[in-house]
Structure 1
Amino acid sequence: MTRAYAEVIGDPIAQSKSPAIHGFWLGKLGIDAEYRACHVRPDEVPSYLGERRSDPAWRGCNVTMPHKQAVMPHLDRLDPLAARIGAVNTIVHEADGTLTGYNTDAPGFLEPLRPLLGREHLFRMARVLGTGGAARAIIAALAAENIVIVLAGRDPAKARALLDELDPGGEHHAVDIAHFAEPTDFAFDDRAGCFDVIVNASPLGMAGQPPLAFDFSHAPPGSIVYDIVTHPADTPLLQQARAAGFRTVDGLAMLIGQAAEAFEKFFSASPPRDADRELRAVLAA
């Protein structure tokens, strides 16, 4: 019998940490399967999915940029969350040969925040910086947790349109990303009983990119600062946040969380999350 496998597709793909994550878990659990990386160019998406449909050993794939929306017309089914977000990052090859699209970015993003979101709050607010593909899942995830969102982008009109599309009934706000770069003398009210999170959903701060310009006078006391950039995991924004006394969450938390959801769908097994610290060391090597 041919060895079962899953993979990640994208263009480019060499930078993906998914093979290291899934390979680590497969090894820990002793599962006889593998996880690969496959370079798929935009014009190759239809033929790639057509070929994989007929391969019984293929369990599915993760989808990274720029294919998260392009794969959708070629699937048989969309999970409701993926349909609402308008992006697919996990495709599962079902036993009947059909393809189902999921979005595990949203639950992966929320995973490190769950202990706090399990509590009751008087008010919940998120300041999200960035309006690209990653922001879609983050906005949908936050809105589902009754969090008021201030979405900042270089084009506030695009930010407004994204909010209206993903949570049309929400009382959210769109601003220019430059707003957060300059100091403010705004006096925050008592934040006891409130939940505040600041999210960098942009590539700013990634290796080779300029840092995200954010002045921490815009951060309410007690805020969590969450940066989804994974290279480096400890970004300038997170370093500045810790120096200012804020709690932080790095991009590996979301990356590992979304991978765990996909792993269960591919291999019908729960990944060994008690080994997360060891996994992080592998990813940092």
Structure 2
Amino acid sequence: MSLRAAVLGHPISHSKSPALHLAAYAQLGIGISYTAIDVTEGLLPSLMGQIRDQQGWRGLSVTMPLKTAMLSQVDEVRGVARTLGVVNTVSFEDHNGTRKSIGSNTDVAGIVNAVRHAGSAAAPSAVVLGGGGTAASAVAALKELGTAHAQVFVRDTSRTADVRAAAESLGVDLEIRSLTDAARPTASADVVISTLPPRAADGLAAEVAALKTPTPGVLLDVAYDPWPSLIATVWQSGGGAVVPGLEMLLYQAVEQVRLFTRRGDDVNAAVIDVMCDAVGLPRRAL
């Protein structure tokens, strides 16, 4: 029986996940195919129905705009995914001849590892740009990094249900403001996590540059194409550390590979090295 995995989202042609996963499976010597499937929220139930009827599926990576919609499509939601209401990973388990789909969230681990490896403060002052599902994962990651309060800047303050619910469930105090007010708080923060789409932070980047002040903290820009983003360029020129979104993608994919292969301890530094090589990501010293 051939083993399969895939990344689901819309649009999806830009995804680096196939390169990351296939490099890992080749290094591990496991024959799992991994493809990108373009699917909208409306078509997700039909696709998941097909997948349930097909043997050999080991896992699904879930990206925008499906991370909330996937909640109702799995048999069980575990861990921080249940707390946040955000699923970016589906794995399959067999119990007495019955296959069960499990929803989980590896975005949080991806953010935590990426920020820690960049040398963030133990309990950082934090800014999150954006208010959707990935921002909810960012709040959970910041909680793990020791943050009890975060400022969240969004383009539309009426569309912040995901991040508000996450903060309430985690006990993190949020201050939600318009993106037009973000320049000074962003420039002075210890950690900034931008979950905005590509180029959506360009205006803010110009405002930060106009301040002509140092940017001493760590910036993680989840958008990785095109790279470097304007805000990453401005941040680095101000003296701060920049973490590309590709690095977060790497670390969340590492956790997915562990789930999909069911060989967690084998997904080691050698596997991470080939995953980095597959997407041209320099390897940080851990």
What's the TM-score once normalised by structure 1's chain length? 0.83
Partner of residue 250, structure 2:
256
Q: For residues 190 and 116 of structure 2, what CA distance do their matches in structure 1 show?
A: 13
- SS, match of residue 124 in structure 2: strand
Q: For residues 229 and 50 of structure 2, what CA distance do their matches in structure 1 show?
A: 39
* CA deviation string 1:103-156 (max 9, x = no partner): 11111111122357797x4x5211111113321211122123331211001233
- Displacement of 1:281 in angstroms is 2.0
Match of 1:173 among 154, 168, 175: 175
Q: Do residues 144 (structure 1) and 144 (structure 2) align? A: yes
2:216 touches 2:238 (CA, 8 Å); kept in 1? Answer: no
Q: For residues 230 and 69 of structure 1, what CA distance do their matches in structure 2 show?
A: 22
- What percent of counterpart residues are identical? 28
Q: Do residues 124 (structure 1) and 124 (structure 2) align? A: yes
- SS, match of residue 167 in structure 1: helix
What one-letter code is carried by the residue in structure 1 that aligns with 2:156? Answer: D
- SS, match of residue 125 in structure 2: strand
Superposition RMSD in Å? 2.7
Match of 1:235 among 217, 225, 229: 229
Name the CA shift for 1:14/1:204 in 2 (closer, same or farther; >3 Å).
closer
2:125 touches 2:191 (CA, 8 Å); kept in 1? Answer: yes
- Displacement of 1:158 in angstroms is 4.1
Q: For residues 146 and 213 of structure 2, what CA distance do their matches in structure 1 show?
A: 19
Q: For residues 255 and 14 of structure 1, what CA distance do their matches in structure 2 show?
A: 15
Partner of residue 78, structure 2:
79
Q: For residues 190 and 8 of structure 2, what CA distance do their matches in structure 1 show?
A: 34
Q: For residues 282 and 138 of structure 1, what CA distance do their matches in structure 2 show?
A: 22
Q: Do residues 106 (structure 1) and 100 (structure 2) align? A: no
- Displacement of 1:157 in angstroms is 4.8
Q: Do residues 223 (structure 1) and 217 (structure 2) align? A: yes
2:7 touches 2:61 (CA, 8 Å); kept in 1? Answer: yes
- SS, match of residue 38 in structure 1: strand
Q: For residues 229 and 212 of structure 1, what CA distance do their matches in structure 2 show?
A: 15
The count of residues paired between Structure 1 and Structure 2 equals: 267
Partner of residue 211, structure 1:
202
1:53 touches 1:93 (CA, 8 Å); kept in 2? Answer: no
Name the CA shift for 1:240/1:221 in 2 (closer, same or farther; >3 Å).
closer
Q: Do residues 34 (structure 1) and 33 (structure 2) align? A: yes
Q: For residues 75 and 144 of structure 1, what CA distance do their matches in structure 2 show?
A: 26
What one-letter code is carried by the residue in structure 2 that aligns with 1:130? Answer: G
- Displacement of 1:42 in angstroms is 2.6
- SS, match of residue 263 in structure 1: helix
1:196 touches 1:220 (CA, 8 Å); kept in 2? Answer: no
- Displacement of 1:31 in angstroms is 1.6
- Displacement of 1:40 in angstroms is 2.4
Unaligned runs of 5+ in 2: none
> Bigger shift: 213-222 or 256-265?
213-222
Compare relative contact order (CA 8 Å, sep 6+) and give the higher one, 1 or 2.
2
Q: For residues 221 and 38 of structure 1, what CA distance do their matches in structure 2 show?
A: 39
Structure 1 consecutive aligned stretches of length 4 or more whose deviation exceeds 6 Å = 116-119
Unaligned runs of 5+ in 1: 189-194
1:227 touches 1:250 (CA, 8 Å); kept in 2? Answer: yes
- Displacement of 1:172 in angstroms is 2.6
- SS, match of residue 60 in structure 1: strand
